[in-house]
């Protein structure tokens, strides 16, 4: 994993551990969860980090009626 992607993964993990009931879209995660510590993070970087976190079970997805995908905490101990 490259250093930039690692920072995004750490940022998402940190946010979800601090706010375990948070849930948002890729764009929302980039704009709200990571903007302070990682300004300018791209949606592509966030998607790549979420794929890694999904694979470990740390995050889970939920699809809304309109097809929007929301990401939230899966298992905090993953």
The reply to whether 54 falls in a domain is yes
The CATH number covering residue 29 comes to: 1.10.10.10
The phi and psi torsions of 35 (rounded to 5 degrees) equal: -60, -35
- Output the pLDDT for position 51: 97
The reply to whether 18 falls in a domain is yes
The phi and psi torsions of 2 (rounded to 5 degrees) equal: -80, 160
Indicate the number of domains in the chain: 1
- Output the pLDDT for position 78: 56
Which domain does 46 fall in, by range?
A: 3-73
Residue 55 — very low, low, confident or very high, per pLDDT cuts 50/70/90?
very high
The reply to whether 39 falls in a domain is yes
The reply to whether 9 falls in a domain is yes
State pTM to two decimals.
0.92
The reply to whether 78 falls in a domain is no
4-44 residue pLDDT tens: 999 999 999 999 999 999 999 999 999 999 999 999 999 99
């Amino acid at each position: 994993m490259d250093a930039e992607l690692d920072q995004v993964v750490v940022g998402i993990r940190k946010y979800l551990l601090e706010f375990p009931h948070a849930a948002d879209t890729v764009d929302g995660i980039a704009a709200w969860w990571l903007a302070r510590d990682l300004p300018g993070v791209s949606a592509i970087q966030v998607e790549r980090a979420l794929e890694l976190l999904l694979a470990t079970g740390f995050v889970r997805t939920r699809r809304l009626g309109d097809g929007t995908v929301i990401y939230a905490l899966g298992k905090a101990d993953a």
